[in-house]
């Protein structure tokens, strides 16, 4: 870590790198740079390998397209693919927001009353273990609006981690602090706002990270099930269509977009968590 950044906390266990090494490659020594640099290096090697294998063995593009061809399709079919991305993203974000609001509300209900939790928690688990593929057709039949039905499916997939993590978090109050609040005759509301909610935040953000990815998976799966009966413009629909037409490069291009979206969502949640917890929670305090 560079001397510029380490002024905040003097950790005796951390040895500053020798000045010479810092001067030669200061940027590569930074953990933030390393965190991006090393995975990128792996990606570059894999893509290069993929490209050379496809070229060397003259594999036809309708079986395995080369990365260059996929990139080309991303440009030529940009209007189609990015339009589809916007549709899928809209469903994902709507579902993610619904799952977060609903999950937090349910978690609050759970911690207010043991009876509510005991009575309803098995059904939350039921929700989690039922494959969405199995119930998506029903939801699509029952709900008239294609967008609404897809959002419901994706919400169901993303809901459970928010409920489970937030409930756990709201209960994970340090016993010492809980006694202190009791001693100070804090009201139920004060204890909730000043103690339970801040204590729950690390768990809640953990739930958000998992759910953001699940919301995307839920949206794509629901689109697949809906097929041509759905909104008909999402990325999953493009993959289906491209499959029928044996347009393998476009399938790959759509897949790349879905994956990139998932990574971006995860990164956004990680950043949000870092911003909210930096400075106090062990998971987000730099341990260079």
Residues forming contacts to other proteins in the complex (CB under 8 A) are 9, 174, 176-177, 179-186, 190, 194-195, 198, 201, 277, 279-281, 285
191 vs 112: CA distance, rounded Å = 12
Query: 179 vs 259, which CB is nearer to other proteins?
Result: 179
User: Could you tell me how many residues make up the chain?
Assistant: 288
120 vs 105: CA distance, rounded Å = 13
DSSP label of 62: T
Instruction: Please report how close the Cβ of residue 185 comes to other proteins at its closest, in angstroms.
Output: 8
Instruction: Please report how close the Cβ of residue 173 comes to other proteins at its closest, in angstroms.
Output: 10
Contact 117, 167 (CB under 8 A): yes
Query: 49 vs 285, which CB is nearer to other proteins?
Result: 285
| Secondary-structure breakdown of the chain: helix, strand, coil percentages, each rounded to the nearest 5 | 80, 0, 20
Cα maximum dimension of the chain: 76
96 vs 92: CA distance, rounded Å = 6
140 vs 240: CA distance, rounded Å = 18
Contact 136, 95 (CB under 8 A): no
Query: 198 vs 232, which CB is nearer to other proteins?
Result: 198
248 vs 56: CA distance, rounded Å = 19
Query: 72 vs 198, which CB is nearer to other proteins?
Result: 198
Contact 253, 77 (CB under 8 A): yes
Instruction: Please report how close the Cβ of residue 194 comes to other proteins at its closest, in angstroms.
Output: 7
Instruction: Please report how close the Cβ of residue 183 comes to other proteins at its closest, in angstroms.
Output: 5
Query: 181 vs 224, which CB is nearer to other proteins?
Result: 181
Instruction: Please report how close the Cβ of residue 176 comes to other proteins at its closest, in angstroms.
Output: 4
Query: 35 vs 182, which CB is nearer to other proteins?
Result: 182
Instruction: Please report how close the Cβ of residue 134 comes to other proteins at its closest, in angstroms.
Output: 42
């Amino acid at each position: 870590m560079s001397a510029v950044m380490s002024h905040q906390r003097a950790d005796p266990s951390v040895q500053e790198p020798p000045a010479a090494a810092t001067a030669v490659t200061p940027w590569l020594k930074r953990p933030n740079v390393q965190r991006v640099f090393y995975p990128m290096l792996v990606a570059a090697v894999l893509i290069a390998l993929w490209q050379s294998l496809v070229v060397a063995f003259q594999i036809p593009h309708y079986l395995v397209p080369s990365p260059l061809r996929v990139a080309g399709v991303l440009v030529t079919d940009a209007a189609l693919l990015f339009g589809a991305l916007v549709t899928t993203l809209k469903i994902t974000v709507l579902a993610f927001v619904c799952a977060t609001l609903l999950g937090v509300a349910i978690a609050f209900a759970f911690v207010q009353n043991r009876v509510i939790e005991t009575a309803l928690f098995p059904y939350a688990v039921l929700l989690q273990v039922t494959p969405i593929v199995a119930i998506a057709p029903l939801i699509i039949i029952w709900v008239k609006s294609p967008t609404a039905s897809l959002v419901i499916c994706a919400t169901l997939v993303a809901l459970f981690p928010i409920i489970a993590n937030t409930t756990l978090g709201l209960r994970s109050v340090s016993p010492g602090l809980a006694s202190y609040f009791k001693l100070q005759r804090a009201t139920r509301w004060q204890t909730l706002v000043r103690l339970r909610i801040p204590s729950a935040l690390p768990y809640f953000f953990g739930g958000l990270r998992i759910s953001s990815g699940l919301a995307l998976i839920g949206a794509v799966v629901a689109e697949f099930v809906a097929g041509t009966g759905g909104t008909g413009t999402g990325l999953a629909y493009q993959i289906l269509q491209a499959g029928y037409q044996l347009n393998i490069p476009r399938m790959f291009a759509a897949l790349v977009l879905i994956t990139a979206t998932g990574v971006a969502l995860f990164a956004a949640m990680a950043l949000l968590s870092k911003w909210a917890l930096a400075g106090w929670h062990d998971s987000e305090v730099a341990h260079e």
